[in-house]
Structure 1
Amino acid sequence: METTPLPPLACWGTPDTVFGLLEGAWDLDRLIEGKATMLGTARFTRLDGGSLKYREEGRIHLPDGQSFDGHREYVFEGIADGFSVYFAETPLRLFHEIAIVREGDELVGSAGHLCVADQYDSVYRFRADGSFVIEHLVKGPRKDYLSRTVFKRRGS
């Protein structure tokens, strides 16, 4: 039986086009359940060789009312049907590889990463409205939380 391929999502295209569409500025809204919230911006900037430098900056708010500025950096590299995410260290160290597949009206990829004894299970969801969501479920002896970040293109 021959199957007909699914049409691409209007905003993201297909799994192999997502990486290239990340470039640019995004607003981010993060909830770390029971621990903190963060509002800020993220920027994917093209580097020599075609990878993308990711930098986020924002204001972190704790449940006790304290707040402070925070930032984080990664390097993303395109792979077939997805991307690899590296910690922005010298030399680069792999965080995880995300292979993207179609799930209903979203493009979705997931991966795991063991950091010492804490397990990070991550899901990336590229939604039909052009936004995307990254969730990290972290479980282990030192950490136990769910972080959910919604990204929307700046100015949209």
Structure 2
Amino acid sequence: MSSSSLPVHPVPDTLAYLAGAWSVQRELSDGGHTGSFTGRAEFRIANGDEADEWLHVEEGAVEWGGATRQATRTLRMQALPDGTAEVSFSDGRPFHALDLRRGRWTAVHQCAADRYEGTFTVLSPDEWHLRWAVRGPAKDQLLTSVYRRVREPAQPQEGR
């Protein structure tokens, strides 16, 4: 069953929902070649003083063409007063808007002749899916990701 046919879970504040750690399972397809990414994503405030500036950091392993390599990615996120966010690349270039208030969002990013279309679907407080379709003269890619919230074990309290 595809993410688009599942019931959605609206969230009033996009970054409050995303805050914390998530496991990431991503299937990659590019012109008939396939691979995967397995890792972890963290959404956190960029620095302690500015609660409206966030980072989305992913780290993990990409398996492609019989080889496995470590991979990282960082995106910047700007919280907006209405519960949405603006996403940019780590160097500050704009990427896309993000609005999860209805539980589903489609973002479009044009990069030269390539069109990136991302569909974000929130399924529960602890799971969301992301599907990026990339089309262009030299690109025919599909990246399908499942994010599941990582629950950190409770730390024992001292004196108990």
Please, what TM-score do these two structures have when normalized by structure 1? Answer: 0.80
* Amino acid paired to 2:36: T
The Cα of 1:87 is off from its aligned counterpart by 0.2
| Residue 157 (structure 2) aligns with | none
1:1-156 aligned within 5 A = 9=9, 14-33=10-29, 34-47=33-46, 48-50=49-51, 51-62=53-64, 64-79=65-80, 80-89=82-91, 92-102=92-102, 107-128=103-124, 130-155=126-151
Give the aligned residue type for 1:44. Answer: F
CA distance in 2, matches of 1:93, 1:129: 30
- Report if aligned partners of 1:44, 1:55 keep a CA contact under 8 Å in 2: yes
Deviation string for 1:104-142 (max 9, x for gaps)?
xxx011111111110001111111252111111100012
* Contact residue 23 and residue 52 of structure 1 kept, 8 A: no
Give the letter for the 1:141 counterpart: P
Q: CA RMSD in A?
A: 2.0
Structure 1: runs of 5 or more not aligned: 1-7
Deviation of 1:66 after TM superposition, in Å, equals 1.0
Residue 18 of structure 1: CA displacement? 2.6
SS for the counterpart of 1:100 is coil
SS in 2 for 1:20: helix
| TM-score normalised by L of structure 2 | 0.78
**Count of residue correspondences:** 138
Q: CA contact under 8 A between 2:100 and 2:122: conserved in structure 1?
A: no
Q: Partners of 1:16 and 1:81 in 2: how far apart? A: 6
Segments of structure 2 that go 5 or more residues without pairing to the other structure are 1-7, 153-160
Percent identical across equivalent pairs? 25
Structure 2: distance between partners of 1:35 and 1:72: 20
